[in-house]
């Protein structure tokens, strides 16, 4: 059966786009964190929606599991197959066309394999802004962004991927094509199917294209890195920023100086601010339709008010586009810089903004009681309540010891999150890493509804089995 199945796949996509050797399959079988490795009969690379549909119809008929994969930048193992080899990876990397730019409607329609940075560039070249922005934007894809409902640094102003999406095209597990590429802001005609598939991590079907919102390009952006007195000051600083210039506040990132200094080559140029006495800084950005001078004055006025209110102690304002890029490079370099610390246990959590300071204080105390030989590496989109709350060993040679405590550390952190009415998955999804814990964090009714949807849309359970549910 396997040989016949492979031959049919080769007929659909071409022999050169059916990867069978271990060397060819290897890059698709291990996740970015090198934590999950699986196996697959083949890696398939269709070039269009019709080929995806034909492949899914074939896989459904032959009971072959399907693992959709975009840029393979996920952090929860959601795009990696399991150890059993009775599956295929369907890579969307060749579905990389920008189908339409409708400038009057402020929309872009593009295929799921388009790299996020290329989508941003296409919008920019047309005089528009596609605002989704995250550290992996040079390699992650639109399909992956949709499948995890990605957020990033500008959710505060523009929302996450679900907010940016107007319509999607997808292929069901049986190979049917649903074309919902409508560029409509209002379409109240029954169930919102696109919202069901966005965030489903490829467990219900494969998104092959999307129509997304575009925005006017700001005339100016100003960026500042600010040393704050404490975490609670950051929360008060957000309120002050919103009161002063809510419409122009684009990003508000909380970063511990321990995280900041991981990117040492860039952070060394920041002077004393990288050693803020409180251990915390905020990276904020205003984008405006005003000229840069007006925008900058607005930011300087805000910083003056924050200084008078004793919320901040120092600030570095970017004086050029390059300096602004350098500040953002520090923030975006933190995830990869953590590799030098050894085994890092990562948490992608969300909390009510009002509870963030208390959570950080109480959780760190409890963690050190559990095992004192670790450091917290905390950074994230505090403007929308999303923290990347990571734990690293005090030295890399303690990696095995922190790994042995992974389950107890996760339980402590997640128990804390839920005691503050938060969520243990803000923007990275569930994948494999959080699948078994999901039923412990959601109600029986929620889990029953999710399983009912999964069974109704994918009764043979061929779509990304072992993920989410």
CA gyration radius for the chain? 23
The percentage of the chain sitting over the pLDDT mark of 70, rounded to a whole number, equals 98
pLDDT score of 267: 64
132-150, pLDDT tens digit by residue? 999 899 999 999 999 999 9
SS3 assignment, position 26 = helix
Phi and psi angles of residue 337, each rounded to the nearest 5 degrees, phi first: -65, -25
Q: Which fold has domain 220-338?
A: Alpha-Beta Plaits (3.30.70)
Summarize the confidence of residues 176-187 as an average pLDDT.
96
Distance CA 222, CA 376 (A): 29
Summarize the confidence of residues 220-229 as an average pLDDT.
93
- Residue range(s) of every CATH 3.30.70.2190 domain in the chain: 220-338
Distance CA 242, CA 255 (A): 19
Per-residue CA distances from 432 to 80, 457, 462 (Å): 9, 20, 16
What's the chain's average pLDDT?
Answer: 94
Q: Looking at the predicted structure, is the pLDDT value of residue 264 above 80?
A: no
pLDDT score of 245: 77
Report the 3 state secondary structure along 376-387. Answer: EEEEEEHHHCEE
Summarize the confidence of residues 373-382 as an average pLDDT.
95
Phi and psi angles of residue 448, each rounded to the nearest 5 degrees, phi first: -65, -40
Residues 6+ apart with CB under 8 A from 165: 146, 194, 198, 210, 211, 212, 213
- Residue range(s) of every CATH 3.30.465.10 domain in the chain: 98-216
pLDDT score of 323: 84
pLDDT score of 319: 85
Q: Note whether 130 and 103 are within 8 A (CB).
A: no
pLDDT score of 1: 60
pLDDT score of 243: 87
Summarize the confidence of residues 389-397 as an average pLDDT.
96
Q: In what order do the strands lie in the sheet with 177-180?
A: 98-102, 107-111, 206-213, 165-171, 177-180
CATH 3.20.20.140 fits 98-216, yes or no: no
The percentage of the chain sitting over the pLDDT mark of 90, rounded to a whole number, equals 84
Query: Where does 271-429 have alpha helices with state H?
Result: 292-308, 321-337, 356-370, 399-404, 406-419
Q: Looking at the predicted structure, is the pLDDT value of residue 266 above 70?
A: no
Measured in residues, the chain has a length of 469
- State the maximum Cα–Cα separation within the chain, in Å, rounded to a whole number: 74
* Lowest pLDDT segment from 1-5, 33-37, 49-53, 457-461: 1-5
pLDDT score of 88: 98
Q: Which fold has domain 342-427?
A: Alpha-Beta Plaits (3.30.70)
Distance CA 332, CA 346 (A): 16
Summarize the confidence of residues 64-79 as an average pLDDT.
96
Provide the β-strand partners of residue 178. Answer: 170
SS3 assignment, position 46 = coil
Q: Looking at the predicted structure, is the pLDDT value of residue 246 above 90?
A: no
The structure tokens listed for 244 are 């002063």
Summarize the confidence of residues 58-65 as an average pLDDT.
97
2-91 CATH pick, 3.40.47.10, 3.30.43.10, 3.40.50.300, 3.60.20.40? 3.30.43.10
pLDDT score of 292: 86
Q: Binning pLDDT at 50, 70 and 90, where does residue 324 land?
A: confident
pLDDT score of 367: 97
- Residue range(s) of every CATH 3.30.70.2740 domain in the chain: 342-427
Distance CA 424, CA 436 (A): 13
- Residue range(s) of every CATH 3.30.43.10 domain in the chain: 2-91
Query: pTM above 0.85?
Result: yes
């Amino acid at each position: 059966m396997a040989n016949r199945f492979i031959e049919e796949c080769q007929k659909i996509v071409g022999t050169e786009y059916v990867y069978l050797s271990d060397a060819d399959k290897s890059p698709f079988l291990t996740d970015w964190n090198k934590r999950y490795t699986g196996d697959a009969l083949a890696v398939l690379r269709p070039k269009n929606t019709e080929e995806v549909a034909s492949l899914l119809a074939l896989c459904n008929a032959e009971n072959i599991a399907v693992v959709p994969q975009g840029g393979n930048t996920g952090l929860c193992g959601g795009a990696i197959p399991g150890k059993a080899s009775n599956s295929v990876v369907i890579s969307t990397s060749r579905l990389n066309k920008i189908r339409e730019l409708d400038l009057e409607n402020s929309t872009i329609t593009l295929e799921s394999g388009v790299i996020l940075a290329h989508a941003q560039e296409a919008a920019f070249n047309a005089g528009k802004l596609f605002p989704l922005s995250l550290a992996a934007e040079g390699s992650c894809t639109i399909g992956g962004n949709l499948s995890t409902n990605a957020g990033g640094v500008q959710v505060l102003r523009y929302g996450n991927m679900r907010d940016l999406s107007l319509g999607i095209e997808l292929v069901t597990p049986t190979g049917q094509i649903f074309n919902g590429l409508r560029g409509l802001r209002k379409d109240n005609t029954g169930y919102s199917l696109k919202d069901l598939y966005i965030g489903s991590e490829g467990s219900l079907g494969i998104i092959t294209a999307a129509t997304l919102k575009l925005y006017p390009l700001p005339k100016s952006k100003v960026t500042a890195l600010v040393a704050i007195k404490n975490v609670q000051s950051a929360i008060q600083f957000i309120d002050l920023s919103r009161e002063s210039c809510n419409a122009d506040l684009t990003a508000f990132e909380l970063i511990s100086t321990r995280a900041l200094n991981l990117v040492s080559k860039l952070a060394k140029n920041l002077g004393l601010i990288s050693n803020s006495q409180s251990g915390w800084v905020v990276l904020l950005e205003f984008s405006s339709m005003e000229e840069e001078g007006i925008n900058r004055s607005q930011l300087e006025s805000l910083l003056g008010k924050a200084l008078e209110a004793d919320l901040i102690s120092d600030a570095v304002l970017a004086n050029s586009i390059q300096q602004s890029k350098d500040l953002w490079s520090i923030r975006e370099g933190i995830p990869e810089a953590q590799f030098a610390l050894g085994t890092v246990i990562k948490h992608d959590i969300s909390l009510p903004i009002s509870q963030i300071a208390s959570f950080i204080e109480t959780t760190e105390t409890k963690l050190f009681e559990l095992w004192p030989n670790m450091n917290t590496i905390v950074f994230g989109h505090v403007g929308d309540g999303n923290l990347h709350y990571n734990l690293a060993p005090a030295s890399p040679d303690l990696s095995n010891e922190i790994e042995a405590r992974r389950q107890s550390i996760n339980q402590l952190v997640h128990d804390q999150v839920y005691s503050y009415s938060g969520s243990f998955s803000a923007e990275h999804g569930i994948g494999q890493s959080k699948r078994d814990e999901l039923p412990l964090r959601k109600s029986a009714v929620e889990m029953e509804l999710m399983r009912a949807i999964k069974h109704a849309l994918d009764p043979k359970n061929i779509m990304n089995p072992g993920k989410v549910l």
